[in-house]
Amino acid sequence: MFHVAPNEDIKSGKVTDVYFLRGVEILKAKGIDRWVKGEVRASVFPDDWGWAVLAGIEEVAALFSDKKVNITAMLEGTIFGAEQPVLVLEGKYTDFAVFETPLLGLLCQASGIATKAARCKLAAGERKVYSFGARRMHPAIAPMIERNAFIGGCDGVAAIESAELIGESPIGTMSHALILTIGTEEETFRAFDEVIDPAVKRVALVDTYNDEKFAALKAAETLGKNLFAVRLDTPRSRRGDFVKVLEEVRWELDLRGYNYIKIFLSGGIDENKILEYNIYADAYGVGTSISNAPVVDFSYDLIEIEGEALAKRGKLSGAKQVYRCTNCFTTITIPEGSKPGKCKCGGSMSPLLSQLIKDGELKRKMPKPQEIRNYVLDQLNHYSL
Ligand code: PCP
C-alpha cells in the first residue's frame, strides 16, 4: 500500500545500492574473501553545526544482530565532532557489504533529527520544546523521526504512534480546523475543557480569527484558572514584528492578573527563532525544522584489510579510538591501542567507542529513550550553538 520497505527486506539486505551486490558477486566469483574493518564518520556537518548527536544505534543493532560481524560504536546520544569515527564495523566483506546502505541511512537521518532537536532545546533552555513535525514526512517514518527528536532533547511528541514507541503521552490540544468547525474560539475552549481528560493541560489556540491579544484575553476569561497556556501559530503573513505581538499578549494578560498563563508558539520555529522569542515564550512546537533536518553526511570507509592499515585517498587508515575528557569534554582521536594520557585540564580521558555487537551477538543493553535523552541533555551543558 505504502511505498516503504518492509522490515524483512531491510534485514535481508534488499534495501541496498546494487553496486554493493555486484561487488559481492565479483568477489565470490573470484574467490576473494577478505576480513576488513571500516569506520563511519562525517567529515563535515550541515549548516555550520559545531557538533552532532549520534542517533540510530538501536536500529543498527537490530539490523546487524545475527550477522557475522563485530561492531564497536559510541553510545546512542553521544555528542561527537566532525572526522571522529562513531562506529567501526568489521567482518568478511562479502558477509556485510550490502548493509552499508541501510547502515548509513539509519545513522544519517536519525542523527540529523536528533542534532536539530538538541540545538532547539539548547536554544530554549528550560522552556519546553515539542516535536510537531510528523505531518511533514512520510507517516511510515513518523515514529523514527519523533523518537529521535525526543532523544535529541524534545520534551514530548505529538503523534500517537511515536509517543507509544517512546513510552510518553502525546502532546497536543486543538487545531484551527476544530475552532472553524465548532464556529467560535470561546465555544471551542469551553468544549475542550468539558470533554477532554483534565490531566491534559489546557492550551488555547488564539490566532484563528482575530488579534492574538484579544483572543488570549477571551481564552483567559473563558477558562480562568483551568487555562495553562495560549498557543500562537500565527501565519507568516500576519507575523510582522512578532516579538512586539508577544509583548502585547504578555502585557495584557499580566495586567489582568493572568500571569500564570504561559505563551506557547508554533509554526516556522527553529533554534534561531527560539533565541529571538525566548523573551516572552514559555514553550515551542517545532515541526519542519526538526523532522526535515539536514542529514549528518556519514560515510563508511574501509581502514584495514586483513589487519593491515589501508584507506582510500582522503581517509586516515588504521583502527582508532576516540577519547573525551570527563572534565572539559576535550576530545582526541588516536590510533587504537595508543594511550591518551591525561587531558591538558588534568581530567581523565574516557574512550567513546565500545563493543556493540560481537559475532552477531548484541553486547550492550539498549537504553530507554528517556535515558538517552538525559545523556544528551547532560552533555549539552558542555556545548554551545
Ligand atoms: C501547524 C501545526 C504544527 C505546526 C504548524 C508546525 O500549523 O500547528 O504544529 O509548524 P512547522 O512545521 O512550521 O514547524 P497549522 O497546520 O496551521 O495548524 P493546526 O493543525 O494546528 O491548525
Q: What is the DSSP string of 42-108?
A: ESS-GGG-S-EE---HHHHHHHHTTSSEEEEEPPTT-EE-TT---EEEEEEHHHHGGGHHHHHHHHH
User: pLDDT per position in the chain (385 positions), as tens?
Assistant: 899 999 999 999 999 999 999 999 999 999 999 999 999 999 999 999 999 999 999 999 999 999 999 999 999 999 999 999 999 999 999 999 999 999 999 999 999 999 999 999 999 999 999 999 999 999 999 999 999 999 999 999 999 999 999 999 999 999 999 999 999 999 999 999 999 999 999 999 999 999 999 999 999 999 999 999 999 999 888 888 999 999 999 999 999 999 999 999 999 999 999 999 999 999 999 999 999 999 999 999 999 999 999 999 999 999 999 999 999 999 999 999 999 999 999 999 999 999 999 999 999 999 999 999 999 999 999 999 9
Q: Which of these, 352, 337, 367, 366, lies nearest to 88 by C-alpha position?
A: 352
- Tell which atom from ligand 1 comes closest to the C-alpha of 235: 17
Name beta bridge partners: 351.
323
Closest-CA residue, ligand 1 atom 5, reads 267
Q: 104 C-alpha to center of ligand 1: Å?
A: 30
Place of cell 486543538: 174
The predicted structure's pLDDT at residue 195: 98
- Tell which atom from ligand 1 comes closest to the C-alpha of 268: 13
Q: 136 C-alpha to center of ligand 1: Å?
A: 10
Q: Which of these, 172, 57, 45, 173, lies nearest to 119 by C-alpha position?
A: 45
Q: Which of these, 38, 27, 22, 28, lies nearest to 310 by C-alpha position?
A: 38
CA atoms within 13 A on the CB side of 159: 25
- Tell which atom from ligand 1 comes closest to the C-alpha of 286: 14
Q: 215 C-alpha to center of ligand 1: Å?
A: 18
Q: Are the CB atoms for 164 and 185 separated by under 8 Å?
A: no
Q: Which of these, 89, 44, 75, lies nearest to 324 by C-alpha position?
A: 75
Strands (E) located in 93-152? 128-131
Q: Sign of the CA dihedral 216, 218, 220, 222?
A: negative
Q: 289 C-alpha to center of ligand 1: Å?
A: 12
Q: Which of these, 78, 52, 81, 119, lies nearest to 378 by C-alpha position?
A: 78
- Tell which atom from ligand 1 comes closest to the C-alpha of 290: 14
Contacts of 223 (CB under 8 A, 6+ apart): 189, 190, 193, 202, 204
Closest-CA residue, ligand 1 atom 21, reads 175
Q: Residues with Cβ within 6 A of ligand 1?
A: 132-133, 136, 175-177, 233, 266-269, 285-288
Amino acid (one-letter) located at 300: Y
Q: 193 C-alpha to center of ligand 1: Å?
A: 22
Of 129, 137, 173, 175, best ligand 1 pocket probe by most atoms within 8 Å of the beta carbon: 175
Name beta bridge partners: 72.
88, 355
- Tell which atom from ligand 1 comes closest to the C-alpha of 205: 21
Q: Are the CB atoms for 85 and 317 separated by under 8 Å?
A: no
